[in-house]
Amino acid sequence: MSRMRLRFGALLLLSLAVAAAVGFVSGAFGLAGAIRAAVYDETARRAAHVAAHATGALTDADVAGIRALPGVDVVQPRGLGAAGLARPDGTGIRLPGRPQLLAFAAAGDARVTEHDLAAGALPRRPGEALVHRDVADRAGWQPGAPISVLDGRGRGHPFVVAGIVTGDPDQGVVGLLPADHRRIVGAEAGWTAIDVVAPGVAAAEVQQRVAGLLGARATVISGAAWAEQLAAERLGGGLTGLLLGLRLFAWLAVAVAVVVSHNTFTVVVAQRQRELALLRCVGAGRRQVFAAVVAESLFVGALAAALGYLAGIGLTAGGWAALRALDVPVPGSGGVSPTLGAALTAGLVGVGVTVLSAVLPAWAATKVAPVRALAAQAELVEDRRVGRLRVGGGLLLLALGLGGAGLSAARQDPSLGLGAGCVVMLALLALGPVVVGPAMRAVGWPARFAGPVGRLARTGGARNPRRAAAATNALTLGIGLVSVLLVGAASMQVTGAATVAGNHPVDYVVTDWSGGALPAGLAQRLAGAPALADAVPVARGEARRLSVAGGEPASMPVSGVDPDAVRRRLPADTVRAGALADLRPGTVVLTTGAADMIGKPEPGAEITIDGGRSTAVLRVAAVVDGGFESPFGAVLVTPADLARLFGSVPTSRVLLWAAPGTPAATSRQAVDDAVGAFPDLAVADSAAARAEITGTIDRLLLGGGLLTGMAIVVALIGIAVTLTLSVLERLGEFAVLRALGFTRTQLYGTLAMEGVIMSMTAAVLGAVLGVLLGIAGTLTLLGGYNDLHVVVPVGRIGVLILAAALAGLLAALLPARLAARAAPAAALAG
């Protein structure tokens, strides 16, 4: 009777595992659906009043022409252009990490605004502006605040903040009414799109008239089509990738649930052999036995589906919160409405998973011979047989997978790498029963020293390797994926930092956005700022031809820099060959990237450069680390040689170094003050670039961790179920141990240790495989980087394994309680 109750408990636990998977699936799909719905909702709202949306190179004359069409109420042009922002006293405002600021054409009419207002109102009169919240926060501006907007020539124009808006800062951080926009950005830029509102006129007619007016210069579509376009744009890229990942991991959770569920039914059927045999003895047919087991799974599945559906709704809401916390730009309020589709999915997955996984065990149940009812004591299930086919196939898969991973790393072929990773995981599933037994004994080796408790735990867990493997595989997969992620992220972080350091051994780079010359005297002004230690102007000419004897000629930019500045500021440890001291008129310094391209000249070799004005032969002074992104330039000569080759070339960039000990905010403000008057100037900030890389990687880790967490939760429930079933089978043994003087605490300890050994084995196996695949994956994806560093974050992976051990302990608590309840007198009952 108590066994029946315990079995019911195991089935309940099983339904939890399935419910978790169902929850993740319906959560993932619910979230995806909700995001899609919200995106479409928002774009539809934005385009609700738009009768026609024209795109092309459009002018003010087009705007006026459309306005003159009959029935047209609002004509809203769209366009972006560089603009500067300053306080009324002229102090420049810039956004760190954003080289320059863009102005958008603001709408005065709420029907055509592209922005949500956080405060204030839309601009009504000329001289009123919208500012983005990021700017307002930085400058401390409120609606009504006076500001200065700078035009392309750096002249300030007084404006008043009408409202503060949110949205993507790439789509502009200051909004000006079309006429003001013209004044600041300049008429020559034109408009990229025009939206037309014409209430009372059929939309198709408006489109026709606008199209007729603009002719072939523009494409005209309906507001609804525009909304579709916007939605597709927003759902493309990162958001879609995220949703895809979400679904992928949800299916992983389902796969894990199938394994756990199959396991459970197998054991439950094995335990009920006598009962089933008795049923057969009293005349139950095979079909009836089969139906009984399947009916049980149907019940469990339905329960799981219901629980999972509720969990999915909760997860969808949690997912919204997570996305917002991760700063993923998702639209909508995040409200979750239960849909029939989601409920059907939950039902199908829940019942499908459970019933499918019960079919084989149910079939096995029909094979129970009626005579088994008369057999004495049921033998303990001890299954050590592992087919040769399995071992051979598994080893073959492993060799194929690891070989493929190696090949993909060599060829940098991501799809081959992904395939190889999947093959390795398949090999793991096949080899699990072979590997897990010895692995458990190895992982559990230290338990020997924990006395009898440890010794028993060590042998207990490894007793049925096939089942132990099935239970731990899921966790192995999960931990493996996290390890891949950790290795990839750590490598990206170190490689990224090295790339930033290599590409930006400078703190700031000032360039002209449109590629033109820098204002005269800017370098001197920057050099005079006390917060800045050094300002090095760089001039640049496009060489028609660079060639060395026996190499491939190429055309590339050549930079002229003061040799003393190069010696002062180019880090000595970047020199691969030669010496910077040799940079003087008549010599050239190359980056490894440029040198590789033209035939790897050694220091001392001669290079012929055709600059257009003249051709000169220069000698290589040194080769330094870096590629074409090096801020000094890939090919460095003295300013005198540059003038000889190209004639007079204006300064195109200024490299800046902060004074030692100056806070980043102070040096950045000094730069902003100097360039504030020139909206076309872009400021690259290497500290911000580093922060962005770190932020991206942190987001990747957090997102990936959350997703993998789903699969791991199911895996842990699987371990709890497996341990529970194993405890049920061994209740007699535990009773004997209790009769022989094993205390409850000792029994508790044994089971807890079994859980820890099981989960740690899975974690160690997963971490080993994950690190190998992670290294291969990193080489595959990042192999092209010059400064690739493959990093194995030993500390983080160690923490991961410890966390898995702790989780295993938690998973063992319930089964341990069951075991500790075994009555010692039960041992004598036989």
Partner 1 sequence: MICQPQEPPPDAAAPAAAAVDLVKEYASGPAPVRAVNGASVSFGAGRFTAIMGPSGSGKSTLLHCLAGLDQVTSGRVELGGTDLTGLADAALTRVRRDAVGFVFQGYNLLPTLSARENILLPLRLAGRQPDPAWFAHVTELLRLTDRLAHRPGQLSGGQQQRVACARALITRPTVIFADEPTGNLDSRAGAEVLSALRASVRELHQTVVMVTHDPAAAAYADRVVFLADGRIVAETAAPTADVILHTMAELDRAGAPC
CB of 461 to partner 1, least distance (A): 10
* Closest C-alpha among 35, 29, 41 to residue 228: 41
CB of 379 to partner 1, least distance (A): 9
* Closest C-alpha among 258, 358, 268, 273 to residue 725: 268
Count CA atoms closer than 13 A to 294's CA, side-chain side.
Answer: 15
Q: Which is nearer to partner 1, 389 or 740 (CB)?
A: 740
| Inter-CA distances, 273 with 236, 361, 368, 481, Å | 55, 12, 6, 39
CB of 457 to partner 1, least distance (A): 11
Q: Which is nearer to partner 1, 456 or 482 (CB)?
A: 456
Residue 400 CA to residue 409 CA, distance in Å, equals 14
Residues linked to residue 610 through DSSP beta bridges, in sequence order: 545, 615
CB of 733 to partner 1, least distance (A): 6
Residues linked to residue 606 through DSSP beta bridges, in sequence order: 619
Rounded to 5 degrees, what angle do the CA atoms 806, 812, 813 make? Answer: 95
Strand arrangement of the beta sheet that strand 191-197 belongs to? 74-78, 191-197, 52-58, 218-222
Residues 6 or more apart whose Cβ sits within 8 Å of residue 601? 548, 551, 590, 595, 607, 620, 623
Residue 24 CA to residue 14 CA, distance in Å, equals 16
User: What is the binding site for partner 1 (CB under 8 A)?
Assistant: 376-377, 380, 382, 451-452, 455-456, 459-460, 463, 732-733, 736-744, 746, 823-825, 827-830
Residue 497 CA to residue 701 CA, distance in Å, equals 17
Give residue for tokens 């004897």: 549
Q: Which is nearer to partner 1, 456 or 712 (CB)?
A: 456
CB of 453 to partner 1, least distance (A): 9
Q: Which phi and psi (to 5°) does residue 509 adopt?
A: -125, 125
CB of 822 to partner 1, least distance (A): 12
Residue 544 CA to residue 185 CA, distance in Å, equals 34
Q: Which is nearer to partner 1, 119 or 826 (CB)?
A: 826
Q: Which is nearer to partner 1, 515 or 830 (CB)?
A: 830
Count CA atoms closer than 13 A to 650's CA, side-chain side.
Answer: 11
Residues 6 or more apart whose Cβ sits within 8 Å of residue 112? 49, 50, 74, 76, 195, 197
CB of 372 to partner 1, least distance (A): 18
Task: Tell me which amino acid residue 33 is.
Answer: G
Give residue for tokens 């210069």: 217
Residues linked to residue 608 through DSSP beta bridges, in sequence order: 547, 617
CB of 823 to partner 1, least distance (A): 8
CB 472 within 8 A of CB 432: yes
* Closest C-alpha among 409, 406, 405, 404 to residue 783: 409
Residue 154 CA to residue 519 CA, distance in Å, equals 11
Q: Which is nearer to partner 1, 447 or 543 (CB)?
A: 447
Q: How many CB atoms lie within 10 A of CB 613?
A: 14
* Closest C-alpha among 77, 299, 312, 286 to residue 178: 77
CB 308 within 8 A of CB 350: yes
Q: Which is nearer to partner 1, 390 or 441 (CB)?
A: 441
Residues linked to residue 556 through DSSP beta bridges, in sequence order: 543
CB 128 within 8 A of CB 178: no
CB of 369 to partner 1, least distance (A): 22
Q: Which is nearer to partner 1, 463 or 540 (CB)?
A: 463
Phi-psi region of 222 (alpha: psi -120 to 50; beta: other; left: phi over 0): beta
CB of 829 to partner 1, least distance (A): 8
CB of 403 to partner 1, least distance (A): 38
| Number of H-type helices and E-type strands within the chain | 24, 23
CB of 692 to partner 1, least distance (A): 56
Q: Which is nearer to partner 1, 208 or 743 (CB)?
A: 743
CB of 732 to partner 1, least distance (A): 7
CB of 270 to partner 1, least distance (A): 16
Residue 69 CA to residue 15 CA, distance in Å, equals 66
Q: Which is nearer to partner 1, 609 or 747 (CB)?
A: 747
Q: Which is nearer to partner 1, 53 or 467 (CB)?
A: 467
Residue 354 CA to residue 13 CA, distance in Å, equals 13
Give residue for tokens 């007619």: 205
Give residue for tokens 């500390």: 795
**Residue 806 corresponds to which tokens in the numbers above?**
């702790």
CB of 467 to partner 1, least distance (A): 15
Q: Which is nearer to partner 1, 660 or 830 (CB)?
A: 830
Residues linked to residue 684 through DSSP beta bridges, in sequence order: 509
CB 475 within 8 A of CB 720: no
Q: Which is nearer to partner 1, 500 or 827 (CB)?
A: 827
Q: Which is nearer to partner 1, 368 or 737 (CB)?
A: 737
The rounded Cα 8 to chain-centroid distance in angstroms is 41
**Residue 150 corresponds to which tokens in the numbers above?**
């700078």
Q: Which is nearer to partner 1, 237 or 741 (CB)?
A: 741
Query: 3-class SS at 274?
Result: helix
Q: Which is nearer to partner 1, 454 or 777 (CB)?
A: 454
CB of 36 to partner 1, least distance (A): 54
CB of 1 to partner 1, least distance (A): 11
CB 361 within 8 A of CB 268: yes
CB of 758 to partner 1, least distance (A): 15
Q: Which is nearer to partner 1, 481 or 827 (CB)?
A: 827
Q: Which is nearer to partner 1, 280 or 730 (CB)?
A: 730
Residue 305 CA to residue 696 CA, distance in Å, equals 36
